[in-house]
Amino acid sequence: MHDARALIDLGPEAVRKLARRGYTLDLSSLESLQSRRVQSIRSAEEMRADAKRVAKDVQRTAKEGGDISDLKEHARKLKEQIRDVEAEQESIQQELDRFLLEIPNLPLDATPDGDSEEFATEIRKVGTPQAFSFEPKDHVDLGEAMGILDFTRATKLSGPRFTVTRGVGAELERALASLFLAIHTRRHGYVEHGVPFLVTPATMTGTGQLPKFEEDLFKTGVAERPLYLIPTAEVPLTNLYADEIIPARELPLALTAHTPCFRSEAGSYGRDTRGVLRQHQFAKVEMVRLCAAEESQQELLAMVGHAEACLKELGLAYRVILLPAGDMGFSAQMTYDIEVWLPSQNTYREISSVSDCGTFQARRANIRTRGADGKTTPVATLNGSGLPIGRTLAALLEQNQQEDGSVILPEALAPYLGYRRISADGTPQE
């Protein structure tokens, strides 16, 4: 969440920055709310000071044997007035908080202009897309022919946008998660966590999913206790440190987790509905880093490299792009997407998104660090996919398919599987 005073001080500059991502900041309304808040705080302070003076007058007059009835009545009225102004102050603060919670993060000026991937800046391509001597199949046809992906039975169980993996398919999912976790924990210094898959509204608010994006979430609860299924492990991992002060010597913190993710994909019907590219439930290894605010950009580049390491280990062709201001997530100030090559679509498709959120989430979740001067400041938070299991599986099948319908797997998975080839009928072959 933004600091209201900071936005007001930026003034037209804040309006300009937010306009780049398609948000119109009503600066006059913000200034009015902030002014009302300051005035209510000032009024309450003045009344409390007055109440203290009256209390002293009551004590002095009582000691002198004077009549304190009028003073006590004045004290009673002051108490009521303080209660009323405090209630007004709380109401104004809630209105201001609601206003601020709807405002997205300010994009860095280094992000390109534009509101779609069409305006993204390509940073690099890695690997050469394979040239097939035959018409390549998509992962759906390959997986169903092998019997390792079952979309029909998944639909029977849960409706569209769910997948059942079977045999080698399930083994491959497990192997990919193990490989990614091993890369991040052993090479990159992340600490693996097991986290809840159900979280509170406050937790969702901390990372920016609530209140604006409630329609994208799956909600449940126990009695009067509302809970949300996590859309990504970013939510519980980041909020592990909500309302805490992290010693500066402990930064940066690097956290990872393998979890299911649940997304309603509201408004996305008709797009990428075939296969595993856009599911209501999918598995993902997530990376989260917390660092000093001034170090967030170098940490962002490091995280992009960590996600790339997984694709390089698998020998998959991909590219890295810098997203334009209008195409970033709500909480991001800069985002790099990594897109893997899908032969069936003859194009690159997103497989990882790595974002620098600056202090935006930390302000919402109240995550701070203490400097050498003893003062506390918000940390910076970063998050990224490292990687989604289903999309990686799809890319593996498509990029490594053979004309006979079999698939040759990269050597990096051999220690986790014990084989490197999947026959056309889904049988593992050493």
Question: CA angle, 27 as apex, 25 and 33 as ends, to 5°?
Answer: 115
**What is the pLDDT, as a whole number, of residue 353?**
98
Helix (H, G, I), strand (E, B) or coil at 53: helix
Handedness of CA 229, 232, 237, 243 (dihedral sign): negative
**What is the pLDDT, as a whole number, of residue 266?**
65
CA atoms of 22 and 20, how far apart (whole Å): 6
Q: Which of 37, 48, 278, 319 is catalytic?
A: 278
Helix (H, G, I), strand (E, B) or coil at 374: coil
Six token digits for residue 189: 């210094």
Q: Which of 295, 350, 420, 423 is catalytic?
A: 350
Q: What is the pTM of this model?
A: 0.93
Question: Which residues lie across from 28 on neighbouring strands?
Answer: none
* Residue pointed to by tokens 């990159």: 188
Q: Which of 331, 353, 385, 406 is catalytic?
A: 353
**What is the pLDDT, as a whole number, of residue 265?**
81
**What is the pLDDT, as a whole number, of residue 300?**
98
CA atoms of 79 and 47, how far apart (whole Å): 8
250 is catalytic: no
Residue 260 has pLDDT above 90, yes or no: yes
Would you place residue 274 in the very low, low, confident or very high pLDDT band (cuts 50, 70, 90)? confident
278 is catalytic: yes
48 is catalytic: no
Q: Provide mean pLDDT across the span 98-125.
A: 97
Backbone angles phi, psi at 384, to 5 degrees: -170, 155
Share of the chain above pLDDT 70, in %: 98
4-13 CB contacts, 8 Å cutoff, 24+ apart = 4/30, 4/33, 4/34, 4/37, 4/96, 4/100, 5/34, 7/103, 8/34
Q: Which of 40, 391, 398, 406 is catalytic?
A: 391
32 is catalytic: no
Residue 269 has pLDDT above 80, yes or no: no
Q: Provide mean pLDDT across the span 296-317.
A: 98
Residue of 271 and 16 predicted with greater confidence: 16
Among the residues of 128-277, which ranges form H helices?
Answer: 139-146, 151-158, 168-182, 201-207, 234-239
Q: Provide mean pLDDT across the span 181-202.
A: 98
pLDDT in tens, 340-383: 999 999 999 999 999 999 999 999 999 999 988 899 999 999 99
122 is catalytic: no
CA atoms of 119 and 321, how far apart (whole Å): 10
pLDDT in tens, 311-351: 999 999 999 999 999 999 999 999 999 999 999 999 999 99
